[in-house]
Structure 1
Amino acid sequence: MKDKKKKGIGLTYAFNGLKEAFKRERNFRIHLYVTIVVIFFCLYFQLTAMEWVIILMMIHIVLIAELVNSLMERMIDYMKPEYHPQAKIIKDISAAVVLIAAITSIIIGTIIFFPKVFL
């Protein structure tokens, strides 16, 4: 018979993954700290519901991209600990995903916050 998975144990693994990412991944911590600052500004400037949705979606995309990038880097390091040009390309492309997400978030944040700060 198959062992039955205990209820909630998947959530335990997920929260452990977040804890490990926070503990081990400097860039993930930086993105979380920026998230806190952005949420403070959202509250301060009393964003509309649609603006909140857009900001939260961008936060989500950046954090997911950072986690996937960290995952890819660790998998490559595990599978190919010595330097390999193809491994470097995979890591670089994975990092580019985060860069694109972060730049897009900055652009969208600027579009939303600029009129509230300067107009």
Structure 2
Amino acid sequence: MGLKDKTSKGSRWRKTFVYAWQGLMDALGKEKNLQFHFVFASIMVVCSFIFSISRTEWLFVILSIFGVIALELMNTAVERVVDLVTKEYHPLAKQAKDIAAASVLVYAFMSVIIGLVIFLPKVIQLFEKWLVF
């Protein structure tokens, strides 16, 4: 393998990241639900620092955040492909969009449960300290 082969592979590798970044920025600029998830994720990260959560808790928070965002991106991709294929109403097109959206809903619901398990005891403990004084 010559130097040129290595350079072309490196160039292709970089391009895949550039295209992925462009996709993320495009979706973030246009998708209100994705924007909401990013705002909520930012709030969770700040709360995680404030409450000094454990490493294990951080892993669950990180998995929750990135999982919801990844599924929201896939949902957006499914919606775009369906819209590309047909602009007319079709029951299967609706099902594809609804099922993709449901995957985000299910994962987001799980993330809320994880958030409650991690943060609710810490919030209760904080309020108990305030009520004592």
Shorter-chain TM range is over 0.9
Tell me, yes or no, if structure 1 residue 58 matches structure 2 residue 68.
Answer: no
C-alpha distance after superposition, 1:23-78 (max 9, x if no partner): 11110010000000000000000000000011100111100110000000010000
Root-mean-square deviation over aligned CA pairs: 1.0
Rg comparison, structure with higher value: 2
Larger helix proportion of the pair: 2
Letter in 1 for 2:78: M
Q: Tell me how far 1:81 sits from its aligned partner.
A: 1.4
Per-residue Cα deviation, 1:51-109 (whole angstroms, up to 9, x for no partner) = 00111001111001100000000100001111111100111111100000110000110
Residue 80 of structure 2 is aligned to residue 74 of structure 1: yes
- Share of identical aligned residues, percent? 37
Q: Does 1:91 align with 2:130?
A: no
1:36 aligns with 2:26: no
What is the letter of the counterpart of residue 10 of structure 1? T
What is the number of residues matched between the two proteins?
116
Query: What's 2:27 paired with?
Result: 21
TM-score (norm 1): 0.94
Structure 2 residue 112 is the aligned partner of structure 1 residue 110: no
Q: Give the distance between the partners of 1:86 and 1:74, measured in 2 at CA.
A: 15
Could you tell me how far apart the structure 2 residues matched to 1:94 and 1:38 are?
Answer: 24
Distance in 1, Cα, partners of 2:24 & 2:54: 29
Gap regions ≥5 residues in structure 1? none
